[in-house]
Amino acid sequence: MPTPLPTLGLHHVALNVSDLKACLHFYVDLLGMTIQWQPDEDNVYLTSGNDNLALHRSADNIKGPQHLDHIGFFIESPAEVDKWYTFLREHQITLKTSPRNHRDGAYSFYCLDPDGNTVQLIYYPSYSK
């Protein structure tokens, strides 16, 4: 299979947090980010323009200093997401999920980088070309 088009850049970082209220205060009130979307009481998506910081309330106590949930890369179209999925599968990359539609109209899948970090390849209708 031919190589898919390059990503459109880093879109977001997602953090697991134990105190969502305190984190919202820090990122919104102190750093000036705005709430882009809050689908429920445990998840909030912040922005300062053309970026996204996702905060996910951790159901259990976070152990250690690492709270990264995943990083996400913009992809141009749903068809390109599917191409990336096939391409990475063919290169023996560990795939955590299959491509799927999200509540906000996005389309994505998750995989692991060689060091075990979760990476999301995602198409957003409102951000992508």
Query: What is the pLDDT, as a whole number, of residue 115?
Result: 66
φ/ψ of 16, rounded to 5, equals -85, 130
Average of pLDDT values for 80-100?
A: 94
Which residue type, as a one-letter code, is found at position 8?
L
pLDDT at 65 over 80: no
Return the percentage of the chain with pLDDT > 70, whole number: 91
Query: Which of 44-53, 62-71, 87-96: highest mean pLDDT?
Result: 87-96
Q: For the domain 9-123, what is the CATH code?
A: 3.10.180.10
pLDDT recorded at residue 26: 84
Confidence band of 17 (pLDDT split at 50, 70, 90): confident
| The dihedral sign for the CA sequence 27, 30, 31, 34 | positive
Across the strands, what pairs with 110? 120
Letter string b/e over residues 33-67, b meaning 16 or more CB atoms within 10 A of that residue's CB: beebeeeeeeebbbeeeeebbbbbbbeeeeeeeeb
Domain ranges of the chain: 9-123
Which tokens is 112 given?
């692991």
Return the residue matching tokens 């009481």.
Answer: 41
